[in-house]
Structure 1
Amino acid sequence: MIVDRAELVAEAIRSGTLAGLPGGHFIDGRFVESVSGRRMESFDPGRGKAFATVAAGDGADIDRAVAAARAALSGPWSRLSPAARGEILMRASRLIAERAARFAVVETLDSGKRLAEAEGDVGGVVKAFAYYAGAADKLHGDSMPLGPDHVGLTIEEPVGVAAQVVPWNYPLSTAARGIAPALAAGCTLVVKPAEQTPFTTLMLAELLDEAGLPAGVLNVVAGTGTDAGAALVAHPGIDHITFTGSVATGQRVMRAAAEHVTRLVLELGGKSPLVVLADCDLDAAVAGIMEAIFENAGQICSAGSRLIVEEAIAAPLLERLVASAQALRPGHGLGDAGIGPINSPAQLARVAGHVDRARAAGNRILTGGAIVPPEECGGGWFYQPTIVLADGPDDPLVQEEIFGPVLTVQVIPDFEAAIAAANATSYALVAGIYTRDHARAWRYARAVDAGQVYINEFFAGGIAMPFGGNRKSGFGRAKGMAGLRSYCKLKSVVARI
């Protein structure tokens, strides 16, 4: 199997695919076809063409996977020490690093993102497995001083069989930030990747098997949300659900979880404010804003999609942003593109619909605002990098998540107005600020409702920092030790001496 980056890219460009992609579900330690025998196509968004097929699962396949996970929960896996679990995770980290090029090229073919972005994701996955490998034997309870006649202590136990529903925008990294801590805690898993992007999660399951994970501990079922995802989150054999996706789907997952009182972590949408004050480092702010909204073509729940800029510097800042956006050239992720495609025709239509409605309502579009014709970008699904002025805090551009390369701009008079604007939506996932005044930066961090706040840099922190939202952005946390404890249940034990 080819592992050289240049050879992999050349093969993918020449043939439109890669040899050796997994084609079935990974259940009980091996690849299997669907019970129904059905398969589905997976599309390369940069070309707008199918490049591979994979098994299409449904409730019958979910039943098989959950049965395998429940059996493994009480098998040899349950008798491994935390340190031994950590050793498996560390071997997996090393194997991912060795095969990083293949994971990145497959991620680019499947999701559409630029190869450099995919390589960054794979690097983060290597770090995630190493982090939780080190954390596996450091998860401990506490002792309580109950007096001379009693001993009290708490024990962190694995929650059981964990289900994970993975989105299409960050398939490998989102899967890893759930799989790694769940395994470190001693859980078993059933993972349902997005139907648009199944391959790197299936590859990861095969790699963990090679790293020494017992059969049945990690199971991956490909399929649509309707056929496989709904069956998974409603399954009575599931003890915990981690879901990443839209608010509407998250609400359906909550209803399904309520039927069996299943524990739940939800990471949902965002309309994250990025405040830029007049005293900022303008160069750093422009660079940060561009990354915050145009990385992965804006298809990021935590994207800095809402620029809140102080009036004193609005004109020069917007002039530079418009020029930078216009310089981005769309293209296939395996080429030297400035911005990649939208993941699917349906998502492309949603992005275009938001901007078309804004244009019809009289909003001023500073740049972009249209679908890139397929003949200009190799047949793929692309939208122009777009910057639009909002009419006010109630503007749909301010209130609604677009999930594409569209930056909404709000001009405000001062710092207090910036805080009010930042908190004026129903989302509370991420917030950022650029200012040289650290007192105001920390006041903002305290005042804004968000799960994460970035000061003078966006997307900062890495695997050690907990990630998640408030209000309609969800609840619970991934990453960090908080993410590890998401897969634990706390038991208190009291003994009389």
Structure 2
Amino acid sequence: MTVTAEAPQTLDPDLLIDGAQLIGGEWGPSVSGETIEVINPANRSVIARIPRSGAADVDNAVEAAEKAFPAWRDLSATTRANLIFKWADLVEQKVQELDQLESQEVGRPASGMVPMAGQLRFIAGQADKVQGVSLPTHTPDTLGFTLREPFGVVGAVIPWNAPGPMFAVEVGAAIAAGNTIVIKPAEDAPLAALALAKLALQAGIPAGVINVVTGYGVEAGAAIPAHPKVRRMGFVGSPQTGRAIMDACAKNLTPLHLELGGKSPQVVFDDANLDAAIPGMAFAITINTGQVCAAGSRVVVHRSVHQEVVERLASHLQKTTIGPWYEQVNMGPLVNQKQHERVLGYIDIGKQEGADLIIGGGKPSGEKYKDGFFVEPTIFDKVDPDSRLAQEEIFGPVLSVIVVDDDEEALQVANNTEYGLVSSVWTSDTGRAVKFARGLQAGQVGVNNPIGAGVIGGPFGGYKNSGFGRTMGADSVLEWTQVKTVSIR
């Protein structure tokens, strides 16, 4: 593995928020005055500090959101849409700076292709398309119809792996529907979210419509779904935390959507175009160092092409370049020490379970890697489909290869986890493609493409323990509304 070095670029001081969070249009510290360091995972240097908030800060944010709600709700939907369009324009103007900021806090290589502006424009286009329906009535002197109305103050908690896009999707859809929001980004990667909130204010979105509270999940994060004035929740993260969020929402009967983990299968048949499948599958496990819920972490391969697939995948992944965010590489470090220990721990589990380690299995050697949370792309072959390696989400670049003998076994193995987020099937047989598109238990199925690539506005969400509810689709704004039936005589 090689690294090509370029001089790191200085982060934009106008977008780097240090020591402050956003409540009611004002930037300030937490009530306690305590802070948390945001660490660069490539070298463990401190990028910035953020407020360590708790329930009192969430109370203040909810109060600010509640105060801003009536005026924001009563704006015409077209006016709200225009403000979100202006927000998207500012995001586009700062696309490289935002990319560098998120890359440095998350650890992924900078690409300049962050999707937030496009996401916000897609959402803005839905804002004034929210419609009710007319209803039949028993008598001609009665008029019946439905209204779709915002919930009021809503909440969201997002993870660290793609904070900018997730902030845009959750906040954009919620405020497009007329809600005001209190959102907590992950303490490991809050800076892109704070920068986006600053651009929203510059676009003219009123104070209090967007409130960003920073801090630990068990403190600030837990206080949002527990707050009785938060009327709807959105959460993206682990199933364990999702259950805790759902328990908190249950106490106040707060509706929510959950987008949780995945253990996505990539099913490869003997008629697959391996020239397309191999780089696609390698991308699906190395993107963001495997730290995506949609990562294609299981290769379910027909025995007749098993050896060729493993050899070609190993050859492809051995060419993966690794380094810090500012270098022209394929893969960066893991986000923090806890995640580094977790991934290396699962590699040890794979060895103990008797799977064949083909490549990788540790931290890359060299002076430039010693302080960072780097790990090699890793392939385990002949993995037991019921083993921990095949069943549990690792959230790192660790690929499990499982051999099957026919279509029925392939479908059974692919569906044999608690998750159902994303899946792929690689085949030239149209009938087989249709069969697996229907049979795979996942919210997204890619046929001859990895992790649902190439679709604009596809609803994203999971089956089974991968959660419920959908984001990013044509109905994403509707998800943040509630229905009222009106009858007039």
Q: Is TM more than 0.5 here?
A: yes
Is the CA contact (8 Å cut-off) linking 2:383 and 2:401 kept in structure 1? no
SS in 2 for 1:296: helix
SS of equivalent to 1:138: coil
CA contact (8 A) 1:267 1:474 kept: yes
Whole-angstrom distance in 1 between the partners of 2:456 and 2:59: 32
- Match status 1:125 vs 2:116: yes
- Other-structure match for 1:271: 263
Q: Residue 125 of structure 1 aligns to which amino acid in structure 2?
A: M
AA of the residue aligned to 1:30:
E
* Superimposed CA distance per residue, residues 108-161 of structure 1 (whole angstroms, 9 cap, x where no aligned partner): 111001102xx33x2x21111111111111110111233552332111111211
Match in the other structure for 1:358: 350
Paired residue for 1:134? 125
What CA distance in whole angstroms lies between the structure 2 residues aligned with 1:438 and 1:379? 49
Structure 1 unaligned residues grouped into runs of 5+: 1-7
**1:390 CA displacement:** 4.2
Measured after TM superposition, the shift of residue 329 of structure 1 is 2.1
Amino acid at match of 1:444: F
Partner residue, 1:19: 13
The alpha carbon displacement at 1:234 in A equals 0.8
1:191 match: 183
- Distance in 2 between residues matched to 1:256 and 1:436, nearest whole Å: 47
| Match status 1:468 vs 2:461 | yes
d(CA) in 2 for partners of 1:342, 1:109: 12
Alpha-carbon contact 1:11-1:18 (below 8 Å) kept? no
Aligned residue type for 2:129: K
Note the C-alpha offset of 1:418: 1.0
The residue matched to 1:486 in structure 2 has which SS?
A: helix
1:442-470: CA deviations, max 9, x gaps?
11011111111111112324551110101
Query: Which residue does 1:315 correspond to in 2?
Result: 307
2:141 aligned with 1:143: no
Q: 1:396 Cα deviation (Å)?
A: 0.9
Taking the TM superposition and a 5 Å limit, the aligned residue runs for 1:78-477 are 78-116=73-111, 119-120=112-113, 122=114, 124-149=115-140, 150-373=142-365, 375-377=367-369, 379-459=371-451, 460-462=453-455, 464-477=457-470
Paired position in structure 2 for 1:483: 476
Greater displacement, 215-224 / 140-149: 140-149
Aligned CA RMSD, in angstroms, stands at 1.5
- In structure 1, give the amino acid aligned to 2:38: S
Q: Which residue of 2 aligns with 1:62?
A: 58
Specify the code of the residue in structure 2 equivalent to 1:474. Answer: G
Describe the shift of the 1:11–1:391 C-alpha distance in structure 2 as closer, same or farther (beyond 3 A).
Answer: closer
Q: Following the alignment from structure 2 to structure 1, what is the Cα–Cα distance between the partners of residues 211 and 456?
A: 23
1:302-335, CA deviations, whole angstroms, 9 ceiling, x for partnerless residues? 1111111111111111111101111112100110
Cα 1:10/1:391, change in 2 over 3 Å: closer
The answer on whether the counterparts of 2:153 and 2:230 sit within 8 Å (CA) in structure 1 is: yes
Percent identical across equivalent pairs? 39
Amino acid corresponding to residue 422 of structure 1 in structure 2: A
Name the CA distance, whole Å, in 1 between partners of 2:93 and 2:243.
39
- Which of 38, 44, 55 is the equivalent residue of 1:42? 38
* Matched residue, 2:3: none
Residue 29 (1) aligns with residue 25 (2): yes
TM-score (norm 2): 0.95
Judged with a 3 Å threshold, the aligned counterparts in structure 2 of structure 1 residues 131 and 18 are, in CA distance, closer, same or farther, namely closer
Q: Distance in 2 between matches of 1:115 and 1:140?
A: 40
Distance, in Å, in 1 between the alignment partners of 2:261 and 2:8 is 36
Look up the equivalent residue of 1:486 and give its one-letter code. E
Taking a change above 3 Å as real, the CA distance of residues 461 and 164 of structure 1, as seen in their structure-2 partners, is farther
TM-aligned CA deviation for residue 233 of structure 1 = 1.6
| Aligned AA (2:248) | A
Paired letter, 2:467: G
Letter matched to residue 130 of structure 2: L
Q: How much does 1:250 deviate?
A: 0.7
Displacement after TM superposition at 1:393 (Å): 2.0
Unaligned segments of structure 2, at least 5 residues: 1-5
Deviates more, 1:228-237 or 1:187-196: 228-237
Kept after mapping to 1: 8 A contact 2:123/2:476: no
TM-score for the superposition, normalised by structure 1 = 0.94
CA contact (8 A) 1:127 1:463 kept: no
CA–CA distance in structure 2, aligned partners of residues 51 and 325 of structure 1: 31
SS at match of 1:354: helix
- Distance (Å, rounded) in 2 between the aligned partners of 1:346 and 1:368: 19
Contact 1:128–1:463 under 8 Å retained in 2: no
Q: Is the 8 A contact 2:297 2:398 kept in 1?
A: yes
SS of structure 1 residue aligned to 2:477: helix
The secondary structure found in structure 2 opposite 1:115 is coil
Letter in 2 for 1:131: F
**Given the superposition, is the C-alpha separation of residues 61 and 463 from structure 1 closer, same or farther in structure 2, using an over 3 Å criterion?**
farther
Instruction: Measure, in 2, the Cα distance between the counterparts of 1:242 and 1:100.
Output: 25
Distance 2:147 2:313 in 1: 52
Number of matched pairs: 480
